[in-house]
Structure 1
């Protein structure tokens, strides 16, 4: 046991902290593992035990204090990429069958045929006209 350097024990500790990181997906364990890795590097460069522990604590606390709030901020923001029906809002479509306020018309939107109705019930759009999709209600596109 005395033949094994302190840096090896720090690496074993880093690996041991990596296991709960993978199992629980808690990034704090990864930050502690990085601190253990920094302590292993300190031990490998000849730092004594007190310096190794101070490096472990300093790196771990710094990572938790800096990286964790940034990660939480990114986790709470909505993705910029719209998908599904949200991606169709604002797109242009071509009228295939007369579209009015009754909802009996058809449009070609993103390569697919959709039922459509006009947002303004007094307005009608004739085949061939381009319209803008403002909302999707079920399987019906609301257009202007």
Structure 2
């Protein structure tokens, strides 16, 4: 049953798009007032506007009805899932994060032993000036 309604729904949707694209805009009637082909229409002297408008309205009604039918079937399917034992809500469980060790020294409290660090001569590292001129 759901597949049949879904197929009808898709066909109606495609037909609606085609009908909307076939219709003329409101500005297209200006040429018809000067005798621009109103007598050559298949649908009579009023043109195809009223016929296509009525068909579009009918297809839109069927489209809304199939949408409503598909929504009802989806709700019934969801209710039947609850009857089978599928939980309505999924609850998430979280593990507790262990507390931060406050006995560990902070970065500011750590003393740096600079006795083993290499020394950089500031005069030798200047741009292009390798000799020491300060004595």
Instruction: Give the shorter-chain TM-score range.
Output: under 0.3
**Larger of the two Rg values belongs to structure:** 2
Query: Under a length normalisation based on structure 1, what TM-score does the superposition of the two structures give?
Result: 0.26
Flag the structure with more relative contact order, 1 or 2, with Cα contacts below 8 A and sequence separation at least 6: 2
Query: Under a length normalisation based on structure 2, what TM-score does the superposition of the two structures give?
Result: 0.28
